[in-house]
Amino acid sequence: MNLTADLTGQHVLVTGSAAAARRAVRRYRSAGATVHTLTSPAGFTPGLLDGVALAAAVDDGDAGWAVLPVACRRHRVLLVREKAAAPGGQVTLVGGGPGTEELLTARALEALREADVVFYDRLAPHRNLDRLAPGAELVDVGKRPGHHPVGQARIEQLMIESARAGHNVVRLKGGDPFVFGRGGEEAASCARAGIPVTVVSGVTSAIAVPAAAGIPVTHREVSHLFTVVSGHQPLTSEEHEHLAGLGGTIVVLMGVGTLPQLAAGLRRAGMRADMPVAVVERGYSDSQRTTVSDLSGIVTAAAAARCKSPAVLVIGEVVRQAGSCRAQAAQLAGLAGRLEAV
């Protein structure tokens, strides 16, 4: 059974060893309760329950806590049992998907629930972190293009220090941690520091953002390969040639700023001027927008529409599927609506 209670201003007694109870303590504090702690059953006296609205018994394995339920019953204090916090001292790199909470994996949700501290990026779903990671301190290390409030070396240092202090550290990143997210560097520096590190893969924007615009990155008889490229730096002419020569879908992340160089480079490398190109901005947000043109017109179209980061660029024949996939999606939605109405 799930109960929701307003604990603002209420006294809550949290029992259990400091390590086991650390997350429960933070959770009740963040719910506005006045938290009292008792780390050993030897220190228990029934007087500790005076004025207490709720006792939270964290299971730290000590049999001595058997006195607590008896005393709670006698004092008519509500008792809830809590699992001990998982042992700390580790880092979990979590892929948060392209920005909507609904695309967090079950494993990501579990890691957040178990976190003592969450270092999060702006492209990760971070609006409801206080609910998703109720026992955690939340630290915004958000990166925006050209604006990194906390530098990469500092982020890595903070994660390591926090894990060394015994915390369960979650590093929540946009999309998948190993796709242009510097997740590899973070994992390596944790490993170098002797900190156990786990990676939780996420839904990458490279596939999911085109999908949100109705564009499949592969499509039978249209494209049987897709290449994901970073547009952070302009590509070399050799790279343009390789890309144009592949003949499949090209997906570019961080590519709004270098779109003019990319379009010109692919044209020079022989790609057709009428190759369809889409710019999908702010996937999965209320302001998601798709701008479609062809290789010769996309720079003007994107400038006229004032396309901004974050956006995923898709270059290839699959862009033409957007219309039919969207139409099909709309048809299905309509069908579902009709079925519900029946």
> 204 vs 223, which CB is nearer to ligand SAH?
204
* Binding of residue 310 to ligand SAH (CB under 6 A): yes
Quick one: which segment of 32-40, 233-241, 276-284, 318-326 binds ligand SAH (CB under 6 A)?
276-284
User: Shortest Cβ distance from residue 324 to ligand SAH (Å)?
Assistant: 22
Q: How many CB atoms lie within 10 A of CB 153?
A: 10
Distances from the Cα of 341 to the Cα of 328, 335, 337, angstroms = 20, 10, 6
Q: Decide if 254 is catalytic.
A: yes
* Binding of residue 179 to ligand SAH (CB under 6 A): yes
* Binding of residue 180 to ligand SAH (CB under 6 A): yes
* Binding of residue 309 to ligand SAH (CB under 6 A): yes
Using CB under 6 A, which of 108, 277, 311, 314 touches ligand SAH? 311
Pick the catalytic residue from 121, 159, 176, 275: 121
Pick the catalytic residue from 143, 159, 176, 271: 143
DSSP 146-176: TB-SS-HHHHHHHHHHHHHTT-EEEEEESB-
Q: Which of 262, 254, 256 is closest to 237 using CA atoms?
A: 262
Q: What angle do the packed helices 183-192 and 152-164 form, to 10 degrees?
A: 40
Q: Which of 73, 54, 72, 45 is closest to 11 using CA atoms?
A: 54
If binding means CB under 6 A, how many residues of this protein chain bind ligand SAH? 23
The residues with which 138 forms a beta bridge, in sequence order, are 118
* Binding of residue 175 to ligand SAH (CB under 6 A): yes
Kindly state the helix (H) or strand (E) to which residue 257 belongs, with its residue range: none
* Binding of residue 96 to ligand SAH (CB under 6 A): no
Contact call for residues 117 and 170 (beta carbons, < 8 A): yes
Contact call for residues 85 and 24 (beta carbons, < 8 A): yes
User: Shortest Cβ distance from residue 40 to ligand SAH (Å)?
Assistant: 45
Pick the catalytic residue from 159, 254, 271, 275: 254
> 88 vs 283, which CB is nearer to ligand SAH?
283
Locate 342 and state its tokens: 């029946």
> 35 vs 314, which CB is nearer to ligand SAH?
314
Q: Decide if 143 is catalytic.
A: yes
Q: Which residues are catalytic?
A: 121, 143, 254
Which residues in this chain contact ligand SAH in the complex, by CB under 6 A? 98-99, 123, 173-176, 179-181, 204-206, 209, 253-254, 282-284, 309-312
